[in-house]
Amino acid sequence: MRSPRDLDARLHSFVGSLPTTPADRWLRRLSALADHGKLWFLIAVVLGSRRGPLRRGAVRGIGSMLFSSAVVNVVLKRIFGRMRPDLENLRTERRLRREPGSLSFPSGHSSSAAAFVTGLALESPAAGAALAPLALGVGYSRVHVGVHYPGDVLAGLAVGGAVAAAGQHWWARRPVRPARVRPAFAAPALAEGAGLVVAVNPRSGPDDYDPAADIRRLLPRAEVLELSEERGVAELLGEAATSGRATALGVAGGDGSVAAAAAVALQHRLPLAVIPAGTLNHFARDVGVHTPQDAVDAVLAGQAVRVDVAEVNGTPFLNTSSIGAYPEMVRRRDRMAAKLGKWLALSVAAAQVLRTGRPVELEVNGRRLRTWILFVGNCTYTPRGLAPAYRPRLEDGLLDVQYLRADLRFGRTRAVLATLLGVSEHARSYGHFAAEEVRVVVRSGPERVAYDGEMGAAATEFLYRKREPLTVYCCRTR
């Protein structure tokens, strides 16, 4: 059997002996366009103009490409030290204007192509599949113009794809399937929305979208009320529920608006229709309501589920609550995420906030803690660490407690490095546990509590526990 290197050389020679065709010119241009990732940066700019999976995929793809390029060019090429193929016999019409002077194995162009397309595919499989032939074309072009052996290209594609896939450890991809809930639950089926009173926050979501008009079009018999400075979600829905004209309540807005509506729905034992109209819509996405049409379909069909609700000092919340620096850290992370990606943005935000923040002295369920951040989630969040993103279940009956210790030497530096390396869960600076009830006593003075994007009053004692389940309109069978 011939050695792999011999086979690689023979394949390279075979490609070099192919007859001249018009494709030579285009493959040479494609190879040159991919220099320094220019092709993929250009595609990312185009994809980034669209909100949603395409923009997230473009950011993930660029981040994967940059990391993969560093691994290949700084580490792997120096380890293997393979020289470039001899170009003496290569036909002139195939040669690049500037022949590369770096080492050959693995191919950096191929690695970047695979990393970008794999990263894109993790967020948008259709877009990734559409660009996969282009990535393969870039890889083949490097053999066609003579600057790489086929083995270099195959190794580069493998490294780039592996780097992008491994990136999920640091930047977890939100699962497509919604969180587990209690079994399907019957709720009133409201023809054309009759009996549904919806509170709309016009300041939520994109500036060019009017949720009130959309709801009136989809549910013409629903009563749609818009928030004002004088009357918020609680006032609008509370009055409708008390008057008896509401068979069900609805809310269109962000997570803060949804939490306020949930409190009214629980008080009056009414089902709640959540119409995603905010920026992030964490709760709606977790429960499986991704678009206004999803909520409308459930209201018309009378299908609902029941989910856990937590409370802090009597105030209900659906997602998270925190004490300490966490709200500011999340605010800075979200502001930088579009440019840096969530993982790097979180690391930078943590460094900024912890540099100027002060520790909080707490007693949590009798355990003395000196912390930078205390995070309490309604049900268990994943991934563990400083970047909890979603919940596999919305009916586990637990409160998810996570905290960042401030009692260790170089604690801030440890926390930032652990976040950057994606190992927060395993670092000594991070702690977590789950409980059905959590009592927090602040020993360092009154602290304000945050919940679902809103800020509560300052206090020195906080009691977290579960409320009765909330009925939410949602078309699901489990």
Average pLDDT over residues 105-128: 91
pLDDT at 354 over 70: no
**At 142, is the pLDDT very low, low, confident or very high (cuts 50, 70, 90)?**
confident
Is the link from the previous residue into 383 a cis peptide, with omega within 30 of 0?
Answer: yes
The whole model's pTM is what? 0.62
Answer whether residue 478 shows pLDDT above 50: no
Q: Which two tokens stand for residue 22?
A: 């018009």
pLDDT score of 348: 76
Pairwise CA distance, residues 182 & 25, whole Å:
61
Structure tokens at 133: 């032939």
Supply the pLDDT for residue 409: 74
- At residue 272, the pLDDT reads 95
Helix/strand/coil for 255: helix
Please tell me the distance from the alpha carbon of residue 449 to that of residue 361, in angstroms, as a whole number. Answer: 14
Give 360's pLDDT tier (boundaries 50, 70, 90): confident
- Name the least confident of 157-166, 350-359, 419-428: 419-428
What is the per-residue pLDDT across 414-456, written as a single tens digit (0 to 9) for each? 666 665 555 556 567 788 899 999 999 999 889 888 888 777 8
**276 upstream amide cis, omega within 30 of 0:** no
Between CA 219 and CA 250 the distance in angstroms is 11
* pLDDT at residue 93 in the model: 64
Farthest CA pair distance, the chain: 89
Q: What is the mean pLDDT of residues 473-478?
A: 70
CB distance 422 to 405 below 8 Å: no
Question: 12-20: long-range contacts (C-beta < 8 A, 24 or more apart)?
Answer: 12/85, 12/143, 12/146, 12/149, 12/150, 15/143, 15/144, 15/150, 16/89, 16/90, 16/91, 16/94, 16/146, 20/91, 20/93
E-strand stretches of 180-331 = 185-186, 196-200, 223-226, 248-253, 272-276, 303-307, 310-312, 315-317, 320-324
Secondary structure percentages of the chain, helix, strand, coil, to 5: 45, 20, 35
Helix (H, G, I), strand (E, B) or coil at 407: coil
Distance, in Å, from the CA atom of 97 to the CA atom of 117, rounded to the nearest integer, reads: 27
CA distance 31 to 21: 16
Distances (CA, A) of 275 to 57, 255, 291, 314: 25, 11, 7, 25
**Per-residue pLDDT band at 346 (split at 50, 70, 90):** low
pLDDT band at 362 (very low <50, low <70, confident <90, very high): very high
**Cα–Cα distance for residue pair 63/47, rounded to 1 Å:** 14
| Calpha distance 153→374 (Å, rounded) | 47
The neighbour count for residue 327, using CB atoms within 10 Å, is: 21
Tell me the two tokens of residue 279. Answer: 């920026």
CB-based contacts of 156, cutoff 8 Å, min separation 6? 72, 106, 107, 108, 109, 110, 111, 113, 114, 139
pLDDT tens, 188-241?
999 999 999 999 988 766 666 778 888 999 999 999 999 888 888 999 999 999
Tell the residue number behind the tokens 């700019």, with chain if given.
45
pLDDT above 50 (res 36): yes
pLDDT of res. 103: 85
